[in-house]
Each structure stands twice: as C-alpha cells, then as structure tokens.
A and B are shown apart, each in its own frame.
Chain A
Amino acid sequence: MAGFPSPSQDYTTAEIDLTEHLMPNRASTYLVRARGHSMTGAGIWDGDELVVDRSIRPQHGHVVIAVLDGELTVKRLSIGTDGRVVLSSENPAYPDIAVPSLSDLRVWGVVTVALHHVSRAS
C-alpha cells in the first residue's frame, strides 16, 4: 500500500542513553573533577567526575559546589530552621564551614551525580 506507511513504524525504540539519564538538562550541566577526601560519606571520592546541574535551585540537603575564596568547593548544604547555613563535610576528619548568612553564600551548582570508576582498562 504505497503512500500510507504503517502507523506502527513510529514505534521505534531507542537504545538507553546514558547522557540523557545522567544529564537531562544538558545546556545547564557542567562536569568537574573532584579532588580531595572530605565528601567520602556522600559517596564522592578523589578523582570522581561530578555532574553539576546549574538549573536546580539549591536546597537544604543538596550536595553543592560553593564558591569559597574564588575556588569551587564541594560540600553538603545545611540550612537550619534558625536560618543558620553550614557547608558540611561528610568525613569526620574534615571540618564544617559556617556561612554567616544565606546571602553570603554563592552556590555555583548542584551536584547530581558522582561518576566513580571502579576498574580501568590497562
């Protein structure tokens, strides 16, 4: 039947797309390299690649990248009921950082995924 293709032809299935899964908002997503050991409790290890989605509004409990002294710093954002803001480390060997007020805090982006390589091809 020329001219009228089967409607079922539209039901093509695409392969699972890891990029789509890990970074649904591509235009606002940057990747950075984690360096240090203060966030092991959050599952972030030295050398991991971090997916940072800047379109997400930072909230209490998010792992964020904050700008501290001109550097990108990864911490967990804690906003207390009294309005106290703390950038928490997730490793007992590292201190938390108190932020005077929310307006002093510059969040560069919200970390959504840590890519941790477990085996490497030699």
Chain B
Amino acid sequence: MSPAPREAMIALVDCQSFYASCERVFDPSLENRPIVVLSNNDGCVVAMSQEAKTLGIPMGIPWFKLEPIAAAQGIVARSSNYELYGSISARVMEVIGRHAAWQEVYSIDESFISLRGTVEELIQAGRRIRQDVARCTGVPVRVGIAPTKTLAKVALIGVKRSRPLSQVGVCHFGAYSPTQRDTILASIPVMDLWGVAGRLGRRLANLNIHTAADLAAQDPGQMRRRFSVVVERTVRELRGTPCIPLKEEPRQYKDQLIYSRSFSEPVTTTPAMRQVLSIYAQQLASRLRNAGQEARVLTAWASTSPFATDQEPHSPQISAVLPVPTAEPVTIARGSLGLAELIRPGTRYVRAGVVLTDLRPAGQAETLPGLGPPGEGRNLGPTLDAVTARFGVGSIGLGYGGLGEPPSWQMRRAMLSPRATTHWEELVTAHL
C-alpha cells in the first residue's frame, strides 16, 4: 500500500463549480455571489456556485419555484452557456496537460494525469497546476493525488469536505498514515465512489457495506463473483492496486447516444415535428462521427406535458433497424421521420428525442455495392460539420431541418451570458 516514491501516481484534477466558475471568468461582479445555472429552456437548476449550495438551494429545483425568492437572496441565474463552457473546458484541459506526460480527459470538468515524485513534490506540483490553470483560464481547480484512480477520487472528496484541505486545494492520499487512511475511507459513503449508484449501492448496503472502508475490506474475488469485475476493481483500487489504467484515447465507446430536448413552445404539427427530427438526426450523426462510431438501431419518441389537463396525454414512439450500421445523417433522419406521421395534429408536444443504440466502431460492417445508405460515399456528414463549424449552428441542415431562421420551438435561454469565446458579436466589454 505504500508505494516507492518514484512510482507513477494518479492525480484527478477537477474544476470547482465549473459552470458557475465559467460564468465568473468574464463577469467578475459575480464573485462571491450565489449563482445557479439552468437546464435547457431555463427549466431547472443543474449547477450552482458554492455560495448557492451554502444557501441550501436543492439541485434540480425548477426555476419557476426559485425565481420568486431569487432577487431577495441575491441569487444570480444564468442559462446554460454550452458554447462558453466547452471552450473554457478545452483551455483548462490543455493547461492541465502541460503538467504531465499522460492525460485522460474524463469529462468536461475532470481530468486524470500521471505524475511522479515524492509526496511533497507532488503536493507542490498540485499547487502549481492550480495556480497555472487559475491564471491562464480564470477557473479554480482542485487536485486529488493517490496511487489509483479510485483513491484519487477519495483524495478529491477530502479536498471538497475538509476545510483546511479546501484552502490548499490539493490532497495527496499518501500523506496519511495507514490508520488515518482507514479513518478517511470509513468517512466516505460507498455511494460516493465511481460506478456505485442506486441499485448496486442498495445491494451493498444489504451486505452491510456502507463506506469505502467496508468495501475495501471485502475479498476481491468474492466481490467479482457476487457483483462484477467493476466492483472487484474498485476493491483493489481502494487497497492501492491500480486496476483502471489511464486512457489517452476517448473513453470507451458509449453504448447509446441520446439527443432529447424540451421545446420552448409546444410542437403541434407534422411539418414542425419533421423539422425537429431532422435537426436532432443531424446532431446525432455529427456526434457519432466524432466518436468514430456507427449505429444500427434507432428509436424516436415525442411526448406531451404530463401537467397538461386539457388534452389526452400522447407519447408516440417508433423504432427502426437501419439497413446497415451508419453515421450518415440522411439515413438517420429518414429512420426517425416516421415518428412525425404518428403525432396527432393539434396536440401539444413538449419534448422529443432520438436514441441510437447498437453502436459499434465505424467501418466494421461490410456493405455490398449498391446497398449502402444513400448519402454514403458522398461525404455528406463531414461536409455538414465543416459548414456548421465555419458558419455556425443552423447555417445548413438536412431537408426539413435546413433553415437559417431558428425554429420557434428551439431552446429558450433568456439569461444567457455572452458567448464570449465563440461569437465575435458577443465579445465581453472592457472599459477604457
């Protein structure tokens, strides 16, 4: 459990209240103020600054419930500014990556890196990363360091929960004695660990496994037989044996891709629903291609509001098996358009989605000549992406989705901050 000092350690670097921190980068007046960031269509709170958490605002609360008291409490609300968050995330990840030979970007606001050095050296390295990222990007980060990914997460939980550690912003699990480590693990609910969610957590609780320490004390082989290899690995990682290697490649292929949104105003006609589906299909095709994947099975659905009392609820759904696995937008759009024929004109639909499953790496399936998707070989997807990258989202689209004018059902983002890194006309003002 106590590795030689020069052995590779894993650092998990995570951004503090990432969305709220991004909002502060270009608007310093938001410092020390409670910020809530709202979901699509300004529906509910999906992210908060520490100040908002301290006020006790529950995550997920609908904005219409919070709004009446927001002003009195000094709460600032922002629509999700995905353009800004994505751009700042890329910068943060690049700066973090400069500090290590190996980096795995785990999510929009988390990255693993590999470091070598003594405990003291690595705590210093963690401080340098914090300073560097804050200076270069304006985003505060925290660093948890340990021999394994799972323990790095444990160290990071320490940074979040312990007041002295949160001041430093860096925690090295190796700085503690074996007894102290046991105390730390005993203080962490097993549900806070990666991959231990709802059902698995309840099954573990039935076996009297409540904390990370309880789990670490289990026999790995038995955990594998009872649960899965994932749980076995978590046990071994909690004991200090690295089992989950750093991945420099994008994370393992996801087994499904979903694109679903609420509309800012209800969709009531077949043509409008076709337009929705065309745009969703184009988005999904683009994501698939970026992930180097193809899909074979498609499901599309739409639904009315569960709160509407003056109409029959209706949730049509279709599934389609595509002729061949593909990431080609025309085929995906065609597969999903059948849904538009199922809606009842006049009924108000508030949400729709397209789900792709049976995903696989691109280029595995052999296609007989003439049997490929209609757009295949004509580079349609990459061309759409290139035009979108150059002229902006909505500048080109497939059939029903190809409109310059944004459709009326699109996302409402009434409290959107400037998209200051992606749109010239939205640059933030500096006063002279």
Contact of A71 among B95, B136, B420, B431 (CB under 8 A): B431
Task: Identify which of B91, B421, B427, B431 contacts A36 (C-beta below 8 A).
Answer: B431
How far apart sit A61 and B239, CA to CA, in the bound complex (Å)? 54
Among B29, B91, B429, contact of A32 (Cβ-Cβ < 8 Å): B429
Asked if B431 and A35 make an inter-chain contact with CB atoms under 8 angstroms apart, the answer reads: yes
In the bound complex, how far is the Cα of B94 from the Cα of A3, in angstroms?
Answer: 36
The total number of A-B Cβ pairs within 8 Å is 78
B175 at the interface (CB under 8 A from A): no
Assess the A28–B28 pair: CB atoms within 8 A.
Answer: no
When the two chains form the complex, which single residue of A31, A37, A106 contacts B432, counting CB atoms closer than 8 Å? A37
A78 touches B (CB below 8 Å)? no
* B-contacting residues, A6-39, CB 8 Å: 25-28, 30-39
Whether B427 lies near A70 (C-beta < 8 A) is no
Q: Which residues of B have CB within 8 Å of A31?
A: 420-421, 427
Q: Are A35 and B429 in contact (CB under 8 A)?
A: yes
Cβ-defined contact, B136 with A27, below 8 A:
yes
- With A27-B94, A70-B29, A71-B29 as given contacts, are A33 and B430 in contact (CB-CB < 8 Å)? yes
A72 to B26, CA, bound (A): 8
Task: Check if B432 sits within 8 Å of A28, measured CB to CB.
Answer: no
Contact in complex: A67, B95 (CB < 8 Å): no
Whether a CB of chain B sits under 8 angstroms from the CB of A77 is: no
A34 and B430 contact, Cβ closer than 8 Å, known pairs A70-B29, A71-B29: yes
> What mask results when residues 30 to 55 of chain A are scored 1 for a CB within 8 Å of chain B, else 0?
11111111110000101001101011
- Shortest Cβ distance from A77 into chain B, in angstroms? 14
Report yes or no: B136 in contact with A35, Cβ–Cβ below 8 A. no
B15 CB to closest chain A CB (Å) equals 14
Known: A54-B136, A54-B138. A28 touches B431 (CB 8 A): no
> Is B428 close to A, CB under 8 A?
yes
Q: A27-B95, A28-B95, A71-B29 are in contact. Are A33 and B136 (CB under 8 A)?
A: no
A74 touches B (CB below 8 Å): yes
Do A28 and B91 form a contact, CB below 8 Å, given A67-B28, A108-B28?
yes
Residue of B nearest to A36 (CB): B432
Q: Is the pair A71, B421 in contact by a Cβ cutoff of 8 Å?
A: no
CB-CB under 8 A from B420, the residues of chain A are 30-32
Is there a chain B Cβ closer than 8 Å to A86's Cβ?
Answer: no
Q: Is the C-beta of A85 less than 8 angstroms from some C-beta in chain B?
A: no
The smallest C-beta distance from B96 to any residue of chain A, in angstroms, reads: 10
Which residues of chain A are near B135, meaning CB under 8 Å? 28, 54-55
A34 touches B432 (CB 8 A): yes
- Write the residues of chain A forming the contact surface with B, with a CB cutoff of 8 angstroms: 25-28, 30-39, 44, 46, 49-50, 52, 54-55, 65, 67, 69-74, 106, 108
Q: 3 closest A-B pairs (Cβ-Cβ)?
A: A70-B29, A36-B432, A28-B136
- If A27-B91, A35-B431 are given as contacts, then 10 extra A-B residue pairs at C-beta distance below 8 Å, sorted by A number, are A26-B91, A27-B95, A30-B421, A32-B427, A33-B428, A72-B429, A72-B430, A73-B432, A74-B432, A106-B28
| 24 residue pairs bridging A and B, Cβ less than 8 Å apart | A25-B136, A26-B91, A27-B94, A27-B136, A28-B136, A30-B26, A31-B427, A32-B420, A34-B430, A35-B429, A36-B432, A52-B430, A54-B138, A55-B136, A70-B27, A70-B30, A71-B431, A72-B28, A72-B429, A72-B430, A72-B431, A73-B430, A73-B431, A106-B28
